[in-house]
Chain A
Amino acid sequence: MLFYSFFKSLVGKEIVVELKNDMSLHGTLDSVDQYLNMKLLDIAVTDAEKFPHMLAVKNIFIRGSVIRYVHLPAEEVDVQQLQDASRRDAEQAKHSTKTGAAAAAAAGKGQPTKDTRPDQSDKVAAS
């Protein structure tokens, strides 16, 4: 969930998305979901030889699982902060795995305690 939150902080920013088929797309991040499916606006294709039709396209929806890399705007990312948050996330995952009730989770294959969904936190805030 960390990278979902992270990418949400980049909505409205320009990013480059490199797909597993080697195509690179430059565009403005419009939305991202928890599977890192991304919607980009006003895209430009770096190498359109294989897919010339992409030149006719402005707004696209990319399936998260076909994304290889996302190039981040350096000025928008505090790398140190992101590293720290990643570590904390990893620590938290480790912790919740160890303290989790299910022994299966300790084997690494189970489902560790998941983050509560935003709707739940909304409810908490509202009450």
Chain B
Amino acid sequence: MRDLIPLNVPTDGVVLAVEDVVVKNREGSYGTGRLFITEENVRWITSELRGFVLSYFEISLHAVSKDVTNFPEECIYLMLDAGKEESEEDSEPEENGLDAEMNGGTHAPEKELYFIPNDKSMLDSIFTAMAHCQSLHPDPEDVGSDDDAMHDEEESGMGEGGGGGDLTYDYGRGDERYGSDNDEDHLPDNAHHFGSGDH
């Protein structure tokens, strides 16, 4: 279980606030509190103003769980990448192997969390709000690196393993299917190739 820390109710960038949300992991329950989906992070705060903060970087995936045969309550299921936020702890050698996990201390960050709102009609709203906010927090290396990555690959000759030379550059095959939506705007040079292959 993670330690609950003193927290204030967020005021800025709150996308969704939900009352009466129980948070559990596999080991137990953290109790009931208020859940805030903000543009910056996800916060859960008890009435004593204690709680925890999750960054979007550490939420690998989230889902609506409605199958009560597997888990007794409908909930939002979160899979966490525990190493993302607590890298120092993560790099500690696990001498005790399984024991470290059994102790359930802060040294073995949980990999899953369940948000169980009292009002089940909020499930889809929470899901959507979190999905929206995830798109605000891409990994730094994913931002604008598309072209660089392609460029590097080309430069470092990674295609030499047999790919490169065999392939013909055939622009006349209607490859707008995979092109970006506005290729034509950018590539007037290529535009005349479309459909020029067959008469």
- Chain B residues with CB under 8 Å of chain A are 56-57, 59-71, 77, 79, 81, 111-112, 114, 127, 130-131, 134-135, 138-139, 142-144, 146-148, 150-155, 163, 167, 169-171, 173, 175, 177-182, 185-187, 190
Residues of B within 8 A of A60 (CB): 61-63
Cβ-based interface call for A46 (8 A) = no
Are A81 and B177 in contact, CB atoms less than 8 angstroms apart?
Answer: yes
Residues of B within 8 A of A121 (CB): 181-182, 185
Are A6 and B178 in contact, CB atoms less than 8 angstroms apart?
Answer: yes
* A/B pair count, beta carbons within 8 Å: 165
Are B151 and A108 in contact, CB atoms less than 8 angstroms apart?
Answer: yes
- Secondary structure type dominating chain B contacts: mixed
What's the nearest-Cβ distance from chain A to residue B126, in Å? 11
Cβ-based interface call for A75 (8 A) = no
Are B147 and A93 in contact, CB atoms less than 8 angstroms apart?
Answer: yes
Q: Can you list 16 A-B contacts (CB < 8 A)?
A: A9-B177, A21-B81, A35-B138, A37-B131, A53-B65, A54-B63, A56-B70, A59-B64, A65-B139, A81-B177, A84-B167, A84-B169, A84-B171, A93-B147, A108-B155, A116-B182
Are B180 and A5 in contact, CB atoms less than 8 angstroms apart?
Answer: yes
What's the nearest-Cβ distance from chain B to residue A38, in Å? 9
Are B60 and A115 in contact, CB atoms less than 8 angstroms apart?
Answer: no
Are B178 and A9 in contact, CB atoms less than 8 angstroms apart?
Answer: yes
What's the nearest-Cβ distance from chain A to residue B131, in Å? 4
Which of B66, B70, B146, B148 sits near A53, CB closer than 8 Å? Answer: B70
Q: 4 closest A-B pairs (Cβ-Cβ)?
A: A56-B70, A93-B147, A60-B63, A56-B67
C-alpha spacing A37/B185, complex, angstroms: 26
C-alpha spacing A78/B178, complex, angstroms: 10
Cβ-based interface call for A55 (8 A) = yes
Residues of A within 8 A of B152 (CB): 108
Residues of A within 8 A of B81 (CB): 21, 66
C-alpha spacing A108/B130, complex, angstroms: 34
What's the nearest-Cβ distance from chain A to residue B139, in Å? 4
